[in-house]
Amino acid sequence: MTARILDGNALAQRLRADFKTRAEALAARGTRPGLAVILVGEDPASQVYVRNKVNACAQAGFHSERISYPRDVEPQVVFDKLAELNADPAIHGILVQLPLPKHFDSDAVLKAIAPAKDVDGFHAENVGALMQGHPRFIPCTPYGVMKFFADAGIDLRGKEAVVLGRSNIVGKPMAMLLLQASATVTVCHSQTRDLAFHTRRADVLVAALGKARFVTADMVKPGAVVIDVGINRLPDGKLCGDVDFAGVSAIAAAITPVPGGVGPMTITMLLANTLEAAEREVG
């Protein structure tokens, strides 16, 4: 079997075209969806992520603001800015690019974002709402993964789903969404015994552990759907996922590539969350 490639660039393009139309409809009613992105420090990867987010907003016809601070900024300056953005009617979504420098209490910063503008979905109130099955904002990466299933017509009911990784931004919300779609979910992590025992049972396997080409063909059930969230840089500078694409694509039914899979969907779902926030506000 040669796997069907789930093309994140193509799906992202289709979704973004729809968002642009919806943003134009909102603008005609006097509201432009607006996203504010706060960046602290000069980390090159974070700078690229923030630039991509701001550019994606411009292409979709959204308003965006990029607010940058040097890495030694006083945390109170950021808290004051968040309070200002929380009250700003032109801003529907706020995100603080992580990681923050060590002198910041990241949890306190995330809590200072108004839950109604928390487009990353990391505020405890939004995490709780997701857990209870009535999410306001779904964290962007797992939200994007769910879009792949919907777009490819993959019915998750009763499927064995295995998630590798239990982070707050990917693994845990991913597991919750799969559970809500009525899959039977197993979450694996660094202390899991006999990982391959679990992965070989998976009809749907989501790899989000941050280890280059960790998942090999012998760990995958033939005919499985494999979603590769990982982004790893190889010594030659090239990007690769957590899945050995060459081997696994020969036996899986469907697979996301890296790059060009989950990555483009993450920013797309940030646009989705910002747009949904603006639409909710307009009513």
Residue positions annotated with a catalytic role: 53, 97, 120
Strands (E), the chain: 4-5, 34-40, 63-69, 93-96, 160-164, 184-188, 204-207, 225-228, 232-233, 239-240, 254-255
What residues numbered 219-238 form the site for ligand NDP, per CB under 6 A? 229-232
CB nearer ligand NDP, residue 135 or residue 139? 139
> Is residue 164 involved in binding ligand NDP (CB under 6 A)?
yes
- Cα dihedral 92, 30, 58, 144, rounded to 10, equals 50
User: In the numeric block, which tokens belong to residue 157?
Assistant: 């009911």
Nearest to ligand NDP of 55, 190 (CB atom): 190
Q: Which is nearest to 71 in space by CA: 40, 38, 102? A: 40
Which positions ≥6 away from 44 have C-beta within 8 Å? none
Asked if 50 is part of the footprint of ligand NDP (rule: CB under 6 A), the reply reads no
Applying CB under 6 A, among 208, 219, 253, 277 the residue interacting with ligand NDP is: 208
Decide: is 192 part of the binding site for ligand NDP (CB under 6 A). yes
Among the listed ranges 80-88, 128-136, 154-162, 202-210, the one in contact with ligand NDP (CB under 6 A) is 202-210
Q: Which two tokens stand for residue 52?
A: 């991509």
Stretch that binds ligand NDP, among 31-39, 50-58, 70-78, 158-166 (CB under 6 A): 158-166
Taking the least distance from each CB to ligand NDP, the nearer of 85 and 143 is 143
CB distance 187 to 175 below 8 Å: yes
Say if residue 99 is preceded by a cis peptide, omega within 30 of 0. Answer: yes
Q: Which one of residues 15, 169, 215, 240 is an interface residue with ligand NDP (CB under 6 A)?
A: 169
Cβ distance to ligand NDP smaller for residue 3 or 164:
164
Q: Among 4, 14, 103, 189, which residue sits at the site for ligand NDP (rule: CB under 6 A)?
A: 189
Residue 227 to residue 162: CA distance in whole angstroms: 10
Helix axes 44-59, 8-28, angle to 10 degrees: 50
Q: How many residues bind ligand NDP (CB under 6 A)?
A: 25
Q: How near is the Cβ of 14 to ligand NDP at its closest, in Å?
A: 18
Segment near ligand NDP (CB under 6 A); pick from 63-71, 103-111, 186-194, 197-205: 186-194
- Terminus-to-terminus CA distance in the chain, angstroms? 48
Alpha-carbon span 113 to 137, nearest angstrom: 13
| Nearest distance in Å: CB 189, ligand NDP | 4
Residues 110-149 as x/- pattern, contact with ligand NDP by CB under 6 A? -------------------------------x--------
Residue whose pair of structure tokens reads 């503008």 in the numeric block: 117
Strand partners, 5: 255
The piece of 109-117, 127-135, 204-212, 274-282 that touches ligand NDP (CB under 6 A) is 204-212
Residue type, 23: A
For ligand NDP, the binding residues (CB under 6 A) are 141, 164-167, 169-171, 188-192, 195, 208-211, 229-232, 262-263, 266
